[in-house]
Amino acid sequence: MLEIKKIKKIYQMGKVKVEALRGVSFYIDKGEFVAIMGPSGSGKSTLMHIIGCLDQPTEGSFIIGGKDVSKLNDDRLAEIRNKRIGFVFQQFNLLSRTSILHNVEIPLIYAGLKTKQRRELAKQALESVGLGDRAKHKPNEISGGEKQRAAIARALVNDPLIILADEPTGNLDTKTGEEIMKIFYKLHQQGNTVIMVTHEAEVARHARRIIHLRDGLIEKDEVKT
């Protein structure tokens, strides 16, 4: 369902070329719960940006849902992000000026849905993460855990192929982090594909498969049984 083939990513930093990814290949099946781990500088952020279609590889191909997206233009990539990928960020990345409900609606706005339909889907998504009663609140009126749950609702609302989480518990205390991980686990059990980038083994342990990155290469790909 998601296939990474010999991906390289080279950045030009002034006169120096930096190889963030030096030929990474793996395959992730539908319904898997994968953690991508590695120390900082291992290339995991770069890999996440490529999987999230925010960036494109210098070399190699990336196929998602049977479609090679490594050569698409900006607008086509935006469509893929909109329809196939649900992002969850470390800093929540909710828009502070508008309500939680509106935040969850944003992907649907860009998908071109009508107001009524949007509102309904967004409410459903919020209820599925237990935030039905916070719909009218602004992000600064709710707790960190609730913000992250709202972000998960926003990631889910377009019914994406993969949920891509970048250090989703990085800004939360341990207890709240556990709660968020439980939500991811539940989503996995419901058949969703979850890919999580983290540097904490404690967080990664919730995943069924851990891909270890080091210096732009896969060091270890362990599958729990």
Partner 1 sequence: MIFEIIKLAIESLKANKLRTFLSMLGIIIGVGAVIAIVSIGSGAREQITARISNLGSNVINILPGTSRGWGGRVSASSVDVFTLELADYIEKVSPSVKRVIPISQGSGLLIKGNFNIQTTIIGTDADYQEINNYNLAMGQFINEGDLDTSRNIIVLGSELTEELFGNDNPLGEKIKLSYQKRDYLFTVIGVMEEKGAGLTGNLNKQAYIPITTFMKKLSNSRFVSYYMAQAKSGDEASAAVGEIEYFLIKYLEDEDQEKFNLQSQDQILDTISSVTASLSLMLGGIAAISLLVGGIGIMNIMLVSVTERTREIGIRKALGAKNKNIMSQFLIEALSLSGMGGLIGIFFGWLGAYAIAQAGKWPLVVAPISVLLAFGFALIIGLFFGLYPAMKAAKMDPVDALRYE
Q: Which residues bind partner 1 (CB under 8 A)?
A: 49, 52, 54-55, 74-75, 78-79, 81-83, 87, 89, 93, 95, 97-98, 106-107, 109-112, 115, 154, 158
Whole-number minimum distance, CB 133 to partner 1, in Å? Answer: 23
Nearer Cβ to partner 1, position 54 or 63?
A: 54
Token pair belonging to 84: 């196939």
- Whether 212 and 37 have beta carbons less than 8 Å apart is answered as yes
**CB nearer to partner 1: pick between 18 and 223:** 18
Please tell me the distance from the alpha carbon of residue 125 to that of residue 140, in angstroms, as a whole number: 20
Q: SS3 for 126?
A: helix
Q: Which helix (H) or strand (E) holds 34?
A: strand 33-37
Q: Which is nearer to partner 1, 82 or 193 (CB)?
A: 82
As measured in angstroms, the least distance from the Cβ of 131 to partner 1 is: 18
Judged by beta carbon, residue 3 or residue 55, the one nearer partner 1 is 55
Q: Closest approach of Cβ 164 to partner 1, in Å?
A: 10
- Shortest approach of partner 1 to residue 49 CB, angstroms? 5
SS3 sequence, 35-91? EEECCCCCCHHHHHHHHCCCCCCCEEEEEECCEECCCCCHHHHHHHHHHHEEEECCC
Least distance in angstroms from the C-beta of 72 to partner 1: 12
Q: How far is the CB of 38 from partner 1 (least distance, A)?
A: 18
Q: How many CB atoms are closer than 10 A to CB 113? A: 18
Q: Are strands 67-68 and 85-88 parallel, antiparallel or unpaired?
A: unpaired
Do residues 132 and 123 make contact, with C-beta atoms less than 8 angstroms apart? yes
The SS3 of residue 95 is: coil
Find the shortest distance in angstroms from Cβ 109 to partner 1.
6
Please answer whether residues 192 and 40 qualify as being in contact, where contact means their C-beta atoms are separated by less than 8 angstroms.
no
